[in-house]
Amino acid sequence: MSLQTTPYKGARDFYPEEKRIQNYMFDTVKHTVELYGYEEYDAPILEPLDLYLAKTGEEIVNEQTYAFEDRGGRKVAIRPEMTPTVSRMVAAKRQELAYPLRWYSIPNLWRYERPQRGRLREHWQVNVDLFGIEGISAEFEIISVADAIFKAFGAQRSMYAIRLNSRKLMDYLLSEYLGLDDAEAGAIAKLIDRMHKMERADFVTKAEAIMTPLERENGVVERLLDILSIKTTKELPEIIRALPTVLELEHVLKLLDEAGISNANFDITLMRGFDYYTDLVFEIFDTDQDNNRSMMGGGRYDGLVGLFGVEPIPTIGFGLGDVTLQNFLRSHHLLPNIQTPTQIYVALVGEVFASAQKPITELRDMGLNVAVSAPGKKIGDQFKIAQKKGIHYVLIIGEDEIQNELFTLKNIVSGEEEKHSLERIVSIINDYRINDSY
């Protein structure tokens, strides 16, 4: 029995060409969020299992978390998300941090479940969080940052939709306006979450099954359907529209619209699961039908830092998964062809390995990325290898070059070939790289 070469189920190998894509995506994200003043942090991949039990549903922790006992008998988990960790970090230094905090990270996360399109067991997730601002300027900023990331990749507004809702609004709607008890409200909320996946009649049947006969007689299902069909906050019943959370939501939408973010809209069917969100929630969807998934989700979670026994801190943030982001970029042809960072491939001709070291070192000292071919290969093969590696320049070093201190530089894309000094070569390559950038 031989060893497998395939990676662990639901996890990916990143060969250099794939790692380049990931680096490009993460570098673009980092650059964008840093424009807004966000700073990178990180934390261990292992956390005490308790950290997740405190705020997440039983099923998620028990069945979808990699959890085990360490050698000291402590129950630990591989982090399935970053939000509890960052809340822990903030709580630990609650008194000494300078608010507002603008923090981001790109951790790898693990969840134990069956892989499917857009969802693997290991993925990387951009986490962007803003701590310490209570008002809607935080909502406006965090959604603007999310939007800026998509714009930084060259996405058009028609390619993605930003959907907003309010958890407080939905709580009021289900318990006060429709008069459902907690269990019913929870079940209906889950149903709403996936209503776009089912037929209307199917939704009605399932909704009726959740409600009591009396509620059905009183037309609660019809009232639910009516309210779920609305497209703007203006259509909400007057009593609901006057809620502070709705006024705030309208204000955020107005600010976004004035900022040119025209693809942000109210969506009363947006639920965002059932976890720690306390007020506004939002998601970004791919408008491409083949990738009809939430790529990014977030919202306000004012209560999480307080779980660590300190005064709560108002917080809003979002997460953006690398798998769904890459699917998005691919389906909209937004992934550039990213070159190897190696700029020159040195082809040695003849017995010059030792004497070629000096010019090679000088090139590196001047900042070029230089790979040297294996000795003893024919020059034609060395061209082939350089081409296959995607390196555009081959530098030929033989007896002749070393004697004259003029080296043969060949652009294997154009086929042009000339002899130059090392300084001239550096300048040619640097100019070429600038012109060749994405």
Partner RNA sequence: GCGGGAGUAGCUCAGUUGGUUAGAGCGUCUGUUUGUGGCACAGAAGGCCGUGGGUUCAAGUCCCAUCUCUCGCCCCA
**Residues at the site binding RNA, with contacts judged by CB under 7 A:** 6, 9-10, 52, 56-57, 59-61, 64-65, 80-81, 83, 109, 111, 113-119, 125, 190, 193-194, 197, 272-275, 297, 319, 349-350, 378-381, 383-384, 387-388, 396, 398-401, 408, 410, 412-413, 415, 417
* Residues 288, 317 contacting (CB under 8 angstroms): no
Is the Cβ of residue 69 or residue 417 nearer to RNA in the bound state? 417
Is the Cβ of residue 91 or residue 296 nearer to RNA in the bound state? 296
Is the Cβ of residue 250 or residue 275 nearer to RNA in the bound state? 275
Neighbours of 386 (CB within 10 A): 23
**Whole-angstrom Cα distance, residue 109 to residue 99?**
27
User: Residue 260: which region, alpha, beta or left (left: phi > 0; alpha: psi -120 to 50)?
Assistant: left
Is the Cβ of residue 113 or residue 181 nearer to RNA in the bound state? 113
CA Rg, the chain, in Å? 28
- Least spacing, CB of residue 183 vs RNA, in Å: 14
Amino acid occupying residue 177:
Y
**Whole-angstrom Cα distance, residue 399 to residue 417?**
17
- Least spacing, CB of residue 330 vs RNA, in Å: 12
> Any idea what the Cα angle at residue 162 is, between residues 125 and 116, rounded to 5°?
45
* Residues 264, 249 contacting (CB under 8 angstroms): no
Is the Cβ of residue 255 or residue 396 nearer to RNA in the bound state? 396
- Least spacing, CB of residue 24 vs RNA, in Å: 22
Is the Cβ of residue 368 or residue 391 nearer to RNA in the bound state? 391
Is the Cβ of residue 369 or residue 387 nearer to RNA in the bound state? 387
β-pairing, 315-321 with 344-348? Answer: unpaired
Distances (CA, A) of 60 to 52, 57, 276, 277, 435: 9, 6, 14, 16, 49
Distances (CA, A) of 399 to 48, 260, 355, 380: 63, 63, 9, 17
- Least spacing, CB of residue 341 vs RNA, in Å: 19
What letters, b where the CB count within 10 A reaches 16 and e where it falls short, cover 27-58? ebbeebbeeeebeebeeeeebebebbbebbee
- Least spacing, CB of residue 273 vs RNA, in Å: 2
> Which residue matches tokens 């039983």?
58
Amino acid occupying residue 316:
I
- Least spacing, CB of residue 95 vs RNA, in Å: 28
Neighbours of 337 (CB within 10 A): 8
3-state helix, strand and coil shares in percent for the chain, rounded to the nearest 5: 45, 20, 35
Cα end-to-end distance, the chain, whole Å: 45
Q: What are the two backbone dihedrals, phi and then psi, of residue 348, each rounded to the nearest 5 degrees?
A: -90, 135
Is the Cβ of residue 102 or residue 123 nearer to RNA in the bound state? 123
**Residue 438, helix vs strand vs coil:** coil
Is the Cβ of residue 236 or residue 286 nearer to RNA in the bound state? 286
- Least spacing, CB of residue 96 vs RNA, in Å: 28
**Whole-angstrom Cα distance, residue 49 to residue 61?**
8
Is the Cβ of residue 236 or residue 296 nearer to RNA in the bound state? 296
